[in-house]
Amino acid sequence: MFTQIDMRYTSPFYRFRFPQSAKSFILYAILYASALLFYPLTLFAQQAFSPLHYTPTIDPIIIDANKCELQFFVSPYGNDAWTGKKSIYNGKDGPFATISKAKNTIRNLIQLHQYPKNGVAVNIIGGDYSLEKSIVFEEADSGFNNAPIIYRAWKNQLVRFLGGKKIDISHFAPVTDSSIIQRLSPSAVGKVVQLDTRQLGITHNQLFPDVFNDNGNLFELFVNNERMPLSRWPDSGYTTMKEVVVPGDKNTPGSFIYRNKDINRWIKNDKIWLKGFWRVGWEEPAIKVAHIDTLKQQIDFTKGIPLGIGNSYYLPKGSGKEQWFAINLLEEITRPGEWCIDFASGILYFWPPSNFVDNHVIISQLDKPLFVAKNLRNTAFIGLHFEASLAEGMLFTNSYRNLIAGCTFQNLGSNALVLSGEQNGIQSCDMFNIGKGCIVVSGGNRKQLKESGNYVINNHLHHYGILKSQYSAAIDTYSENNGADAVGMLIAHNQIHHAPRDGILFGGNKIVFEYNEIYYCGYATADVGAFYSWMDWTIRGIIIRYNYIHNTVGGVNPDDGASGTFVYGNIFAGNRTGVWIASGPDHTIKNNIFIKNQGPVFCIDDRGKARDYANNSRLIKKVLSINPTQPPWSIEFPEMSNLLSSNPELPLRTKFEGNLIYIKKGIAIGNKMHKEYINDTTLLTTYNNYTTTSDPGFVNLPKGNLQLKINAPVFKIIPQFPNIPFNKMGLQLDKYRKKMPTEAELGKLPAANPWKDEDTNLNFGT
């Protein structure tokens, strides 16, 4: 358990405690003065990066709203003409009605030099706050060191910021148009109702683009705080193409033969989009249909996509396994909760669920983040809910020493939270039912290897990637996704599960991922990982230690030459987990536990040679951009100085050593390199790994307790093997997480596993 944050993660000055005697005081004063004098100098005395003991220095903002001298209140029943100093109206005065009024009042206090020395708390009374535009926080809205501004839910009440419009169910009417009724599924007749979105001023109901990758800018419908699914066929899963007729390309629309004659009933619908893995297993665009030929059972698209349709490894007719499904079809409203929009009329057709009641229907409308922070400093947001927006819940840019803690993000169309800056914390938040990813975090300076000090700790992140399934991660430090650097961050104790693709997308430098638990991810894609990165030789100092990765697809997968990971003390469990090095240099996989029915648990390949990565402009440009022969890179990562002249297309200096491997059958190591490299020890060294076919000494393997007993034989066979702290992995109780989620909320009950652990595909890499 930790309180606000584990203090071992902070700077040396944070550890100072006031001495209890005069003699001690003098000694402490001398030591402290010396630290103040010499500690900054150590920043210049750099040395080679040591991954085993490295932890970024973070400086968390300390929050205690009860000590703030000035307390404002905001209420759904408030009035911005009041002073905001009362929690309820007393006949003369009362709370503010809006956050903006509280924010501007505090800004005025700062400008008048009347800001209190212990900071300000804005107490937000429970209720719904519907936003038609973003609430924007700027530098002038910042708090001060030791005097922060705190926006918090008052007494843990439910405070919801909504980016949607509430709809009274009286606006829904029965379907009476006979032409519409004829198109409905027989099971839906008499049950589907309609809503005129244009009459209600609903926007984001325009025609889908011909090609799109997310929700096509269409609003979403929520009932009782649950996202209602856009109609689709099949109801779940996918169908497959039978055969490609015209592969097409960027300028030429593709065509294919379909399998199921049920599609023939769509013939009267001229606005059909199909979403699928048309070419590869990691791209899922939706494409508009131009024509359906029911005699040939052929579908022609209106627009081409880059490199066309049909599995790229089975051209020109494809593999016959390319997965796809149809969306937004009136004919396919076949179960409660499904809906579609008629783009021509603006009519929404909906089969309501049984619990369809007033005041619980919301249509998302805001296409900007609910909260935007620019250059904000020393501000905290505690216990707030962000919901029902088409865009992000919160967006921070170039912000410093802020805290987002105990907040809930759900039913959002984009990422839950995007943050760039330094010394910011995201702690003990819950994020779920998210259209894209949960947290995109960046900061620091890559060229100078300057740490950001950002931390992402103790968050519960699940059921994301709902609208954009590919490359939407629970946590994303891969700087190319938002054009920013990611250096010196701590990502710890997060619980990540139930998503179509990656748990963590990583890039950047000197980032520690520890004590996280990841499961039930990656089953709806290919080339995936619980930890995944791609094509970058400058990824260095990535420390993945003490994580529990299980019942998921992929373990650690630095793909296509991605480099620089130190994988230590993790537990990989499940038939599709492991570590796969895809031709990238400088990886160490040490002292981990692997538990699988069948090996291998580790694979390595040399694809970079055949694909000529040595002359890949993308890879080379990244190396040259950081001046690898100059400090700090030449000192902290000296292998970078001559990387470009030393066959970087090969998996140089890969180490797989001291690992505990429990498999029932098969080999532990899959060396996929060509014959000329397969025994090259400058590429791969393996040492002192312990492989066994029997329980190596877990406390209780059948019940999932993977802590090793103190007398487990591995401690004798591998003397330096760590006692991996299994019980510390995942969520912990702290100041902002007062109780742990249930097994059902964690998605660990058997009914919550949509794959039932019956997946026969054993591939865990790329």
653-669: average pLDDT: 97
CA-nearest of 392, 436, 447 to 634 is 447
Residue 7 clears pLDDT 60, i.e. is over it: no
Which of 313, 344, 362 terminates a domain? The answer is 362
The 3-state secondary structure of 645-710 reads HCCCCCCCCEEEECCEEEEEECCCEEECCCCCCCCCCCCEEEECCEEECCCCCEEECCCCEEEECC
pTM for this model (two decimals): 0.93
What is the domain count for the chain? 5
648 and 701 fall within a common domain:
yes
609-633: average pLDDT: 96
In a domain, 368, yes or no: no
542-548: average pLDDT: 98
The two structure tokens encoding residue 642: 């001559």
281 and 425 fall within a common domain:
no
Which of 130, 163, 196 terminates a domain? The answer is 163
In a domain, 382, yes or no: no
Q: 361-364 and 164-166: which strand pairing?
A: antiparallel
Helix (H, G, I), strand (E, B) or coil at 732: coil
Structure confidence by residue, pLDDT tens digits, 439-491: 999 999 999 999 999 999 999 999 999 999 999 999 999 856 556 899 999 99
Q: What type of residue sits at position 496?
A: I
212 and 241 fall within a common domain:
no
In a domain, 390, yes or no: no
CA-nearest of 286, 307, 621 to 480 is 621
292 and 431 fall within a common domain:
no
In a domain, 597, yes or no: yes
Which of 308, 327, 346 terminates a domain? The answer is 327
Radius of gyration of the chain (CA): 28
In a domain, 483, yes or no: yes
423 and 549 fall within a common domain:
yes
Helix (H, G, I), strand (E, B) or coil at 169: helix
* CA 631 – CA 44 distance, rounded (Å): 10
Q: What type of residue sits at position 128?
A: D
In a domain, 385, yes or no: no
148 and 172 fall within a common domain:
no
Q: 439-442 and 425-427: which strand pairing?
A: unpaired
* CA 310 – CA 321 distance, rounded (Å): 9
* CA 410 – CA 388 distance, rounded (Å): 7
132 and 213 fall within a common domain:
no
Structure confidence by residue, pLDDT tens digits, 384-400: 999 999 999 999 999 99
For residue 678, give its domain range. Answer: 401-750
217 and 307 fall within a common domain:
no
Structure confidence by residue, pLDDT tens digits, 726-755: 999 999 999 999 999 999 999 998 888 877
650 and 544 fall within a common domain:
yes
In a domain, 466, yes or no: yes
Token pair 């090609």 in the structure block, residue: 211
H or E element that contains 37: helix 22-42
The 3-state secondary structure of 464-483 reads CCCCCCCCCCCEECCHHHCC
Q: Which stretches of 93-205 are DSSP H helices?
A: 99-111, 178-183
260 and 358 fall within a common domain:
no
Of the candidate ranges 352-356, 558-562, 613-617, 744-748, the one whose mean pLDDT is the lowest: 352-356
566 and 672 fall within a common domain:
yes
Token pair 């708390």 in the structure block, residue: 121
Under 8 Å between Cβ of 438 and 464: yes
First to last CA, the chain: 37
Longest dimension (CA), the chain: 96
**Which residues of 147-220 form beta strands (DSSP E)?**
149-153, 159-162, 164-166, 173-174, 193-196, 211-212
* CA 707 – CA 593 distance, rounded (Å): 10
In a domain, 367, yes or no: no
What is the pLDDT at residue 752?
A: 84
19 and 31 fall within a common domain:
yes
Structure confidence by residue, pLDDT tens digits, 93-140: 999 999 999 999 999 999 999 999 999 999 999 999 999 999 999 999
333-349: average pLDDT: 97
Sheet with 347-350, strands from edge to edge, namely 173-174, 193-196, 347-350, 339-342
What is the pLDDT at residue 268?
A: 82
